[in-house]
Amino acid sequence: MAAQLISILSQKDEEKEKLKSDIESFHYQVHVFDKIETITKDVSINHPILIMIDYSSILIADRSKVINLFKAIKTTRTIVYNVPEDTDRRLAFYELGATRVFDKSYALENILHSVLWLADVLSTSDESKRLFSKGQLEDISLITLINTLGSENRSGILKIVTENNSGKIYFSEGDIISAEVGFHKGEDAIIHMLFWKKGDFSFSSSQNDAPERTIEISNIGIQIVSKLYQNRYRINLEKLGKSASTVRVQNIGDLAAAFEDIDPKFLDYISRPKTIEEALENSYYSRFDTLDILVKLKENKFLVIKDSAPALVEKMMLNQEISGGKSKKDVQFLLTPQDADLIKNNLKLKSNKVLNILLISSQNFATTGFINSLGNSIIDTKKLKKYLTIEVALADKMNMLVYAMQVDKQTMDTYKLLPDDIDGQIFIIELNGETDFEYMNYVIRQIYLINKAPTVLAVSNAGDKKDLTKLKSKISVPIDIKILPFDYKDEQKNIAKALVALKPPEIKDLK
């Protein structure tokens, strides 16, 4: 029987050759490609059982070629790897039909393990004949699945894919014998997955795929342990807030000295803002242990927690409802009269016209920071399905209506829902959020093509001009878009600065 074929699309020669060598050592045939059109043509001729796609190799390709590739491989199992650590980006590939999506936090060895496991399943039997059931955890809980598979004495693999992770549970005659989630193995992995409430699952019935036993506890024992964990987990989660809230560590030097037992790699992982849900799916600790650590960091004032922008608006709306709304005397103007006049002149605003501003941020906490900094200048807030609106008192007889959203895979569709009379556009990007640059660049250029309203790119964490120069080497925006630093320590002043910077190309800065 001829060796089964695995195809790889990558422009990283060293990485590509290592993958080829390692996979061939398991007696698979491997074809490697560096051009998207070449692999698209080859797929229809040689029919590989599995395709590996390096994210950077399709990032630089023409969009139509990427679409053609995914059309050609829609019936082939596909693994996309080296994807930026961005939930929406990973979800977009799952929607395109990818079997598994690995972000940059996964080591090549871990990805290779998943490739070999999947290739073995695909090459030893027709999986469609082995498939027992599939569905969603929202409809059937994992505990119910374990009970059902146990009572029916099933042998095989239960695979679960969530927005941020995936895992496998191995059954032998109804008993759980092993489990794995990323780097988590055995009982840690099964406990980790029992906290998953959303995700897709499928069970493949087989007697041959079981690995070495790593779980000795019975199915009933697992459920008893889970119940013991659940109460503490729920209490700890309530201490942190909603799973969409963002967390990050601060004073990392003091933190590392105070908690030497916490893995420095984990601290580095959450030194950049993450949603609580993303933080819980790290490669270093289980969800339960991660939650314990986050609560400990919060109690010792090493953890910064911010509401998600929608949650913040919901809270504001509730406060307005309880208080009966703000009176005029409670509202404070955001701008000085001089800045207000300058903006009116720059944008040629008619008297009493509301200034309509689009705000798009690369990360959720940037939107939240912007809203927080508006303080008592906020008159009204609304949470719509796709975006937020915030009405702001800029100056006497001058209000602003902000349409705020975070970049995601639906940004361009959401943009089409906005009114046509947008007066100015502000994009906020994190300088250390390197994985957002390429997609943010795409969004900025696309939106500016549709509406050439005065536009500003506000850059947070930009220490000096060198940082801005560094950014310009990584992101290419139209020349008419002004780039300026945005300091979170003085947000209100910087909002005014960004608004003043909004001006048509023909209006030059005064020297």
∠ CA 414-101-249, rounded to 5°: 75
Distance between CA 222 and CA 210 in Å, rounded? 19
> pLDDT tens digit string along 238-260?
888 776 677 888 888 888 888 88
Residue count of the chain: 511
- For the chain, the domains span 1-124, 127-221, 241-306, 309-501
DSSP-assigned states of every residue in 318-383: HHHHHHTS--GGG---SS-HHHHHHHHHHHTPPTT--EEEEEEESSHHHHHHHHHHHGGGEEEEEE
- Provide the Cα torsion 344, 349, 351, 355; round to 10°: -90
Give 391-413 pLDDT, tens digit per residue: 888 888 889 998 988 887 778 88
How would you classify residue 97: left for phi > 0, otherwise alpha for psi between -120 and 50, otherwise beta? left
* Secondary structure class of 284 (helix, strand, coil): coil
- Cα angle 184-188-190, degrees, rounded to a multiple of 5: 95
Amino acid at 128: S
- Specify the pLDDT at position 131: 41
Instruction: Give the CATH class of 1-124.
Output: alpha beta
Q: What is the DSSP letter of 325?
A: S
CA–CA gap between residue 145 and residue 154 (Å, rounded): 11
Q: In 10 A of CB 149, how many CB atoms? A: 23
* 456 beta partners: 426, 482
d(Cα 405, Cα 370) in Å, to the nearest integer? 11
Q: Are 119 and 136 in contact (CB under 8 A)?
A: no
CA distance 308 to 37: 41
Three-class SS state of 295: helix
- Say how many C-beta atoms besides its own lie within 10 A of residue 41's C-beta: 14
Q: Which pLDDT does position 343 carry in this prediction?
A: 92
Are 1-124 and 309-501 equal in CATH topology?
yes
Sign of CA dihedral 250, 243, 229, 286: negative
∠ Cα 93 80 134 (to 5°): 60
Nearest to 500 by CA among 385, 370, 394, 363: 394
**In the prediction, which pLDDT does 153 show?**
84
Please state, in angstroms and rounded to a whole number, the distance separating the CA atoms of residues 370 and 375: 10
Give dist(CA 395, CA 466) in Å, integer.
35
CA angle 59, 63, 64 (to 5 degrees): 145
CB 308 within 8 A of CB 301: no
d(CA 390, CA 366) in angstroms, rounded, equals 15
Q: How is domain 309-501 classified at the CATH fold level?
A: Rossmann fold (3.40.50)
Residue partners of 311: CB distance under 8 A and separation at least 6: 241, 242, 244, 245
List Cβ neighbours of 136 (8 Å cut-off, separation of 6 or more): 198, 199, 200, 201
pLDDT at 364: 60
CA proximity to 269, closest of 283, 287, 289: 283
Distance CA 251, CA 11 (A): 39
Q: Is 15 exposed, middle or buried (0-12, 13-18, 19+ CB in 10 A)?
A: middle
Burial 156-190 (b: 16+ CB within 10 A, else e): bbbbbbbebbbbbbbbbebbbbbbbbbebebbbbb
For tokens 């074809």, name the residue. 31
Closest CA to 28 of 54, 9, 50, 53: 50
At residue 235, the 3 state secondary structure works out as helix
Residues of the chain with pLDDT under 70: 1-3, 86-88, 123-133, 206-210, 243-244, 307-330, 363-369, 372, 385, 431-436, 438, 461-467, 470, 472-474, 487-492, 506-511
Strand boundaries in 17-165, DSSP class E: 29-33, 50-54, 77-83, 100-103, 131-136, 156-161
Task: Report the alpha-carbon distance of residue 49 to residue 51 in Å, rounded.
Answer: 7
Q: What is the β-pairing status of strands 388-395 and 378-383?
A: antiparallel
The runs of H, that is alpha helices, within 78-204 are 87-96, 108-124, 127-130, 142-151, 186-194
DSSP 8-state symbol, 499: H
C-alpha atoms less than 13 angstroms from C-alpha of 340 in its C-beta half-sphere: 19
